[in-house]
Chain A
Amino acid sequence: MIRSIRRFLLISLFISITIASSITAIGNYLLDRSVIQPYLDEKLFRFYNIIDALNQSVTVNKNIETEVEKNLNTVEPTTPQHLLFQVWDPKQKLLFHSINNFFVPLKDVPIGFSDQIIQGNDWRIYADYDKKSHDKIIVAELYDIRYRFADEIARNNAYILLVTYPIFGILIWIIVGLALRSITRVTNEISNRASTYLEPVNPENIPLEIKPLVSELNQLFVRLKLAFDRNKRFAADAAHELRTPLAALKTQAQVAIKADNPNDRDGALQKVIQGVDRSSHVVAQLLTLSRLTQEDTLNDVGPVDLHKLATEIVAYLVPIALEKNIEVELSSPLEEVLVLGNETALGILIRNIVDNAIRYTPEQGAVKIELLVTNDNVTLRVTDTGTGIPVELRERVFERFYRILGTSASGSGLGLAIVSHIAELHHAHISLSTPQSGKGLQFDVIFPRLRH
């Protein structure tokens, strides 16, 4: 994984130019020697020509031979030590040679260019026969000198590279910086935002490679903004909805303080407790709703037996119903009625619907819970003998905090909003109607049926 694009680019590019420069330098070093070879060979050949000419003039003029030999024998060696020559006659007799600080007979070297090791050093040798006298003329040059020449060239090359290397380095640094600048720009734009600013990043002037990233980022911002707005609204709703219950609590408590007899005080304090219970209920419902609305899909989904679940929930609520002398009945055509969903959420759904029915049904009423099964659907039907919901309000009751006016019941106003959301998550459909008896409310939740 690349931890840093800039570092990766800089390091790899630096390494690349280092390797390239090194290869250039070493390559030069190696190649120059061989490239130089023909040029220096030509020079050696010219040297040969000189010796050849010298030999010819010596052959023509015997006097010069003696002169030359005399000179050669007496004069300080002026020929550089990296050059030597030998001239042999056809009878293998050494005619003359250069003065070097050593002598090795070279009469047997091959004709043409060759390489020999003489006295532990490498020599480049050219040998040929004189056309007229058939003398063998041999010239040789110490490789070391050649090498030195080549090496000097290579060294100069290296010096140049030493200068261009840092220039390249700086150029790379600048170019990488420029390329990555657009990333820095986007980063700065985002980091300069206020923590709650969730508008999309401007997609103009962004290079092709970063566009998809920025686009995804913007989509994330949109989602965040929605969630943020949802949370803000929730907080506002909560604050608003708790004001009146809290006002009631405060007032009742102050009444209790001012009460001049224990009965009145107790009465007021009882109402304080009632108020706290009610507020707790509102808070619990708010939390449930908040948690639910944050999910778009269900987690923990599996087959749920509505019959078993309804039995549990209704059993829990029966005591409350009995306090109001409300008759409760639960029926199901099958022992097991399966739907696909989340058991906890479905429990909350059933509880809220039945709880509502009990709350809004007056004393001596009846609440009936039925499960109806067809080939494709499972319907949870809760019928009550309460005041019902007028047709024009049947849409509105699912709004948060909406409560039917004129009821004295102490609901939170959120129960049906919760029910509605859970139904949606389960792909279930809600239908409100007046029951056959003509009085009260029939509340249907229609689920797709789950088969084995």
Chain B
Amino acid sequence: MRILLVEDDELLGDGLRTGLIQYGYAVDWLKDGISADQALKTENFDLVVLDLGVPKMSGITVLQNLRSRGQTMPVLILTARESIEDRVKGLDSGADDYLTKPFDLDELCARLRALQRRFSSRAEPHITHGNIILDPAAHTVTLNGELINVSRREFALLHKLLENAGRVLSREHLTQSLYGWGEDVDSNALEVHIHNLRKKFGQDFIHTIRGIGYMIDKSKDEK
């Protein structure tokens, strides 16, 4: 999952970025509203963590622009202000959840997972696909009840594909969702991860759509 983190405070932003990466997200960190607005127009993000108090363009404006473009990804706002009006304004402008500072990192991630769940219209926290159960909170995946060992990136990739089961995801989209801007991406990295997943879960599990990307079929239970 790729998160856009918009936070102008150095220490807090750095902490959040590191913390979210620890939790398995790919994080891109921007420090002002204009850059954030720009990035949201041109790049794909799965989640946005937005501090309302960023400079150059207010968080509210970024949010409003995002929604008016029809982008529906979940947005969680961070605010230093206690007042109810600010929270109401944030939520009414299109935010899905908010946290006031200082907050607990674990709680932040739990809320992000909840938002993700809602976004994928899943009632259950786990993603079930045939014999595979993926638990985003625990970062585990089981096949027929047996725990399968996967790397961080493999997990993220599998998560992404299962979330979007039945839809083709482009190579670019998948790569972006795994790696932030600052990270060195081997052009083959994605293939390597796909290969590893096929080894662990079955060759037919992930379909290659030539020239476009990859896909996991919709689960038979859902059809």
Residues of A within 8 A of B (CB): 239-240, 243-252, 254-255, 258-260, 264, 268, 271, 274-275, 278, 405-406, 408, 410
Kindly list chain B residues whose C-beta atoms are within 8 Å of the C-beta of A246.
101-102
Stretch at the interface among B4-12, B114-122, B162-170: B4-12
> B103 at interface (Cβ–Cβ under 8 A)?
yes
Kindly list chain A residues whose C-beta atoms are within 8 Å of the C-beta of B15.
248, 251-252, 254-255, 268, 271
Known A245-B11, A264-B18; 8 more pairs at CB < 8 Å: A244-B12, A248-B9, A248-B12, A250-B103, A251-B15, A252-B14, A405-B8, A406-B32
> B190 at interface (Cβ–Cβ under 8 A)?
no
Q: Which of B64-80 contact A (CB under 8 A)?
A: 78, 80
> B173 at interface (Cβ–Cβ under 8 A)?
no
A204 to B206, CA, bound (A): 87
Q: Are B80 and A243 in contact (CB under 8 A)?
A: yes
Q: Which of B92-144 contact A (CB under 8 A)?
A: 100-106
A252 to B11, CA, bound (A): 8
Closest CB pairs A-B (n = 7): A405-B55, A251-B15, A247-B101, A248-B11, A248-B12, A247-B102, A254-B105
Kindly list chain B residues whose C-beta atoms are within 8 Å of the C-beta of A274.
11
> B56 at interface (Cβ–Cβ under 8 A)?
yes
Smallest CB separation, A282 vs chain B (Å)? 12
Smallest CB separation, A201 vs chain B (Å)? 33
Smallest CB separation, B28 vs chain A (Å)? 17
Smallest CB separation, B222 vs chain A (Å)? 34
> B16 at interface (Cβ–Cβ under 8 A)?
yes
| A240, A245, A250, A255: the one within 8 Å of B22 (CB) | A255
Smallest CB separation, A182 vs chain B (Å)? 44
- Which interface residue of B22, B78, B81 has the most chain A CB atoms within 10 A? B22
Kindly list chain B residues whose C-beta atoms are within 8 Å of the C-beta of A252.
11, 14-15, 18
A260 to B10, CA, bound (A): 22
Interface of chain A, helix or strand or loop or mixed? helix
| B56, B82, B105: the one within 8 Å of A406 (CB) | B56
> B19 at interface (Cβ–Cβ under 8 A)?
yes
Q: Which of B154-187 contact A (CB under 8 A)?
A: none
Kindly list chain B residues whose C-beta atoms are within 8 Å of the C-beta of A405.
8, 32, 55-56
Smallest CB separation, A288 vs chain B (Å)? 22
Smallest CB separation, B139 vs chain A (Å)? 12
Q: Are B11 and A278 in contact (CB under 8 A)?
A: yes
Q: Are A254 and B106 in contact (CB under 8 A)?
A: yes
A128 to B82, CA, bound (A): 116
Q: List 11 A-B contacts (CB under 8 A).
A: A243-B102, A244-B80, A245-B11, A252-B18, A254-B19, A254-B105, A254-B106, A268-B18, A278-B11, A405-B8, A405-B32
| A244, A250, A260, A271: the one within 8 Å of B104 (CB) | A250
Q: Are A243 and B100 in contact (CB under 8 A)?
A: yes
Smallest CB separation, B194 vs chain A (Å)? 26
Smallest CB separation, B138 vs chain A (Å)? 14
Query: In the complex, which residue of chain A has the Cβ closest to the Cβ of B15?
Result: A251
Q: Are A251 and B55 in contact (CB under 8 A)?
A: no
A242 to B43, CA, bound (A): 33
Kindly list chain B residues whose C-beta atoms are within 8 Å of the C-beta of A264.
18
Q: Are B18 and A247 in contact (CB under 8 A)?
A: no
Smallest CB separation, B32 vs chain A (Å)? 7
Query: In the complex, which residue of chain B has the Cβ closest to the Cβ of A264?
Result: B18
A162 to B23, CA, bound (A): 99
Smallest CB separation, B149 vs chain A (Å)? 16
Query: In the complex, which residue of chain B has the Cβ closest to the Cβ of A259?
Result: B22
Known contacts A264-B18, A405-B32, A255 near B105 by CB under 8 Å: yes
Kindly list chain A residues whose C-beta atoms are within 8 Å of the C-beta of B103.
247, 250
- Which interface residue of B15, B55, B78 has the most chain A CB atoms within 10 A? B15
A249 to B23, CA, bound (A): 18
A406 to B14, CA, bound (A): 16
A341 to B81, CA, bound (A): 39
Kindly list chain B residues whose C-beta atoms are within 8 Å of the C-beta of A258.
19, 22-23, 105
Kindly list chain B residues whose C-beta atoms are within 8 Å of the C-beta of A239.
82
Kindly list chain B residues whose C-beta atoms are within 8 Å of the C-beta of A240.
80-82
A166 to B18, CA, bound (A): 91
A410 to B12, CA, bound (A): 12
Q: Are A250 and B102 in contact (CB under 8 A)?
A: yes
Kindly list chain B residues whose C-beta atoms are within 8 Å of the C-beta of A408.
10
Kindly list chain A residues whose C-beta atoms are within 8 Å of the C-beta of B106.
254
A35 to B15, CA, bound (A): 111
A255 to B104, CA, bound (A): 11
Q: Which of B1-47 contact A (CB under 8 A)?
A: 8-12, 14-16, 18-19, 22-23, 32
Query: In the complex, which residue of chain B has the Cβ closest to the Cβ of A254?
Result: B105
A346 to B41, CA, bound (A): 51
Q: Are A254 and B11 in contact (CB under 8 A)?
A: no
Smallest CB separation, A93 vs chain B (Å)? 128
- Which interface residue of A247, A254, A275, A405 has the most chain B CB atoms within 10 A? A247
| A243, A244, A271, A278: the one within 8 Å of B14 (CB) | A271
A268 to B81, CA, bound (A): 26
Kindly list chain A residues whose C-beta atoms are within 8 Å of the C-beta of B16.
251
Query: In the complex, which residue of chain A has the Cβ closest to the Cβ of B21?
Result: A255
Kindly list chain A residues whose C-beta atoms are within 8 Å of the C-beta of B23.
258
Q: Are A410 and B10 in contact (CB under 8 A)?
A: yes
Q: Are A244 and B18 in contact (CB under 8 A)?
A: no
A240 to B53, CA, bound (A): 12
Kindly list chain B residues whose C-beta atoms are within 8 Å of the C-beta of A248.
9-12, 15
A245 to B93, CA, bound (A): 26
A275 to B53, CA, bound (A): 19
